[in-house]
Amino acid sequence: MYELFEPTPEHQQLRSMLRDFVEREVDPQALEHDRDEKFNLPLFRKLGELDLLGLTIPPELGGAGLDAVAVAIVHEELSAADPAFTLSYLAHSLLCVNNLYVNGNDEQRERLLPALASGEKIGGMCMSEPGAGTDVMGLRTTARERGDHFILNGSKMWITNGALNETELGDVFLVYARLEGAPRNAITMFIVEKGFEGFKLGQKIQDKMGMRASMTAELVFEDCVVPRDNIVGEIGSATLCMMRNLEIERLGLAAMSLGIARRSIEIMNRYASERESFGRPLREYGQIQKYIADSYAEYMAGRAYTYLTAGAMKLDQAGHRLDSDGVKLFCSAMGKNVADRAIQVLGGYGYTGEYNVERLYRDAKLLEIGGGTLEAHHKNMTRDLSRVDKIR
């Protein structure tokens, strides 16, 4: 069965390496950075030394050249310690690096990807807006052609890696905008870089419920000047790029929920053996047994679904929306529910930061919202299933 989760020796080595790295480097810093609402940039750049920031791009561009199964492994393992740190990783490695590699041209790849893969530059993607989150086609950021440049106006909200600290922007963003007068579904993708005229940091989003160590910000474009060479793909053709990249994003987010669930199960399982009540270990009580057993079964069901979907996914092809939505729909709710049960098993201790499940629970909630809400997955899946007569 475990060949599903680690189908090749390379995948096995990747998971083993990550477990060691997470235990040594990621876990010890997680609580402090959550409390301080700070992004751990030095630790992030260590992922570049491991070729993980360019996980899915070829070695000649600084990456590891790995597949969707590797994406699931990395996001599961990192999230078992620090989901917020992992969210910043996902925005950089999938929404920016993988997106640019799949959809960009050779000049754009060669100019930007090596620095992104090393961690010299930090990237993200700008899709959501103050009035257009799930309704991505309702975006209002506009682009106007002017000679060999385009002028962008508008703002993007909830952008992961939008800020690296209190005042500093991230470095490279893939920004979805609509040319003035273009139809609703004619979206164009632009590369916007720190230092471009008219590009600035807006509101930094603080005091979030969870994912506090992942920096979130509003990015503002006020007559932002973008060279024509920074158009990704063809003008008006980025809708397919957007939808294709959402598939791998949702797989990564589902895998993050797996990491949260696995760590929560480990914590409550250990606590139920060590803690006694009325002279008996907690694990001997039926209520506690139900929490632990249900959690493990649901985790393994979600894990099997996620890795089965990852094994079938091609990073440069669309066509996996039903199951990329499906794994995120199932796993995001599952991860939150498992973390909730872990808090219940630990009682008052679970409600404090000492045992980590309180932080994992807060982080888990975002996965039911970001990258597509549960309601959006319901809509997408029902629409896709309406075209299916029999399920294979």
Print the SS3 string covering 306-330: HHHHHHHCCCCCCCCHHHHHHHHHH
- φ/ψ region of 152 (left if φ > 0, alpha if ψ in -120 to 50, else beta) reads beta
Domain with CATH 2.40.110.10 in the chain: 124-232
Closest CA to 84 of 172, 235, 189, 215: 215
Contact 154, 129 (CB under 8 A): yes
pTM exceeding the 0.85 threshold for the entire prediction: yes
Domain with CATH 1.10.540.10 in the chain: 2-122
Contact 327, 302 (CB under 8 A): yes
pLDDT 10s digits, 308-321:
999 999 988 878 89
Question: How far is it, in rounded angstroms, from Cα 173 to Cα 215?
Answer: 14
Q: Which residues contact 117 (CB under 8 A, 6 or more apart)?
A: 48, 51, 53, 54, 57, 61, 62, 63, 97
* pLDDT, position 312: 95
CATH superfamily, with its number, for domain 2-122:
Acyl-CoA dehydrogenase/oxidase, N-terminal domain (1.10.540.10)
Question: How far is it, in rounded angstroms, from Cα 22 to Cα 85?
Answer: 11
pLDDT 10s digits, 156-183:
999 999 999 888 899 999 999 999 888 8
Instruction: Using CB atoms within 10 Å of the CB of residue 184, give its burial: 0 to 12 exposed, 13 to 18 middle, 19+ buried.
Output: exposed
Split the chain (392 residues) into runs of 10 and give each run's mean pLDDT. 89 98 98 96 97 97 97 98 98 98 97 98 95 76 94 96 90 95 90 97 94 97 97 93 92 98 98 91 95 98 98 87 97 98 96 93 97 95 92 84
Tell me which of 249, 298, 358, 368 is the catalytic residue.
249
Q: Which two tokens stand for residue 119?
A: 């961690």
- How long a stretch of residues is the chain? 392
Domain with CATH 1.20.140.10 in the chain: 239-385
* pLDDT, position 276: 82
Question: How far is it, in rounded angstroms, from Cα 1 to Cα 268?
Answer: 25
CATH architecture under which domain 239-385 falls: Up-down Bundle (1.20)
* pLDDT, position 55: 98
Question: How far is it, in rounded angstroms, from Cα 138 to Cα 10?
Answer: 42
Q: Which two tokens stand for residue 215?
A: 């920096």
Largest CA distance in the chain: 80
SS3 208: coil
CATH architecture under which domain 124-232 falls: Beta Barrel (2.40)
Question: Residue-wise over 361-370: b if at least 16 C-beta within 10 A, else e?
Answer: bbbbbbbbeb
Contact 30, 67 (CB under 8 A): no
Q: Annotated catalytic, 249?
A: yes
* pLDDT, position 273: 95
Phi, psi of 127 (to 5 degrees): -125, -55
Give the DSSP letter string of 264-302.
HHHHHHHHHHH-EETTEEGGGSHHHHHHHHHHHHHHHHH
Q: Helices H, strands E: what count in the chain?
A: 12, 10
Q: How many C-beta atoms surround the C-beta of residue 92 within 10 A?
A: 30
Q: Which two tokens stand for residue 333?
A: 């709710």
Question: How far is it, in rounded angstroms, from Cα 28 to Cα 164?
Answer: 21
Instruction: Using CB atoms within 10 Å of the CB of residue 337, give its burial: 0 to 12 exposed, 13 to 18 middle, 19+ buried.
Output: middle
* pLDDT, position 133: 67
